[in-house]
Structure 1
């Protein structure tokens, strides 16, 4: 993706946590991207949270710091790095609100051709027994993505 991103990341040794500062109209806000193992084999949940001053994690507050695209590009970089190190793992993510899910769906749809080069992208469809390959216009509840094994090159 050819969007500006936050390059100054603090990354855990096992790549399970990426932290950065969102800088925008509301000042500097610490953000954290976590990859957490789920009960499903080889599936890890991605979450984006705000880190409060007391260290508490908050995934409910919408900050609107004016850097949405830069944050989304930073998430892409984190997923790219994580899956480069763990190519067999699936990453699951969804928005905790309808608006966030719509944002993720739009961002992926706008960049689907490029993202599909690097990743297999599937959608979790309500009441479906299996995930389906994601396509533009698809109404989904969450994403499952995994590195295209043949695309292990670095940018």
Structure 2
């Protein structure tokens, strides 16, 4: 994807990423976590502002720092890194609100041509996950890397 991104920091397990959003509201620390679910083949993508009180993600915070596209590009960069490390798993993502889920759909749509080359993409409708199609409202999204990491 050719979009500006923030520099990501991660730890050795490649499941937690951090970056700083820069904009009119100042420097805002952001976290991305790939969290295990009850299904060992599916990880949940959690994203939001870093809450210094809990040291966790606040996925309801509204930063409004004027850098939405750069943030989405950064989250997708973390998705690439994570799925390069764990190529056989799926990543599930849904917004903490309907508006955020719509924002994710708009981001996928904007970069769909590139993403469909690298990921199997599915949209959630109830308990079903049909192939992602542009123009359909989904409750969540599922992605898996198409190309497996090559062994040396």
TM-score tier, shorter chain, comes to: over 0.9
Aligned residue for 2:138, secondary structure, equals coil
Counterparts in 2 of 1:69-148, with a 5 A limit?
Answer: 69-126=69-126, 129-148=127-146
Which residue in the other structure is 2:14 paired with? Answer: 15
Contact 2:47–2:57 under 8 Å retained in 1: no
Which residue in the other structure is 1:65 paired with? Answer: 65
TM-score by length of 1: 0.91
CA–CA distance in structure 2, aligned partners of residues 63 and 110 of structure 1: 22
Provide structure 2 residue ranges, at least 5 long, that are not aligned to the other structure.
Answer: none
Residue 56 of structure 1: CA displacement?
4.3
Runs of 4+ in structure 1 over 4 Å off: none
Q: Note the alpha carbon deviations across 1:15-53, whole angstroms, 9 max, x for none.
A: 010001111110001000000000123100001121123
TM-score by length of 2: 0.93
Aligned length: 149
RMSD: 1.4
Query: Which deviates further from its counterpart, 47-56 or 134-143?
Result: 47-56
